[in-house]
């Protein structure tokens, strides 16, 4: 896979990887983002609780919704 240089873009939107639901599909994903951060994997730390809650939400992709809204506002 190729990483496209960011100098070709007019602007760049930086997203917090801990709240991006598809971050694991990133070419250069950092495993520490979705790690528990505790000594034992089955014990959850307070910082590992998602801002989206514990419920499973099918087709929940806030980044995709954000990009779609930008496209509608820019392209009309």
Count CA within 13 A, CB hemisphere, residue 48. Answer: 14
pLDDT score for 15: 82
**Local confidence band at 1 (pLDDT 50, 70, 90 cut-offs):** low
What percentage of residues in the chain have a pLDDT greater than 90? 8
Query: Is this prediction's pTM over 0.85?
Result: no
pLDDT score for 48: 55
Question: What are the pLDDT digits (tens) for 39-64?
Answer: 666 665 555 556 666 666 777 888 88
Measured distance CA(24)–CA(42) in Å, rounded: 20
Measured distance CA(67)–CA(65) in Å, rounded: 6
What are the structural domain ranges in the chain? 8-34+50-75
């Amino acid at each position: 896979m190729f990483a496209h240089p960011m100098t070709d873009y007019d602007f760049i939107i930086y997203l917090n990887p801990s709240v991006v639901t598809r971050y694991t599909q990133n070419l250069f994903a950092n495993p520490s983002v979705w790690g528990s951060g505790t000594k034992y994997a089955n014990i959850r730390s307070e910082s590992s609780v998602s801002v989206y809650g514990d419920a499973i939400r099918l087709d929940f992709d806030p980044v995709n919704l954000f990009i779609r809204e930008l496209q509608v506002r820019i392209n009309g």
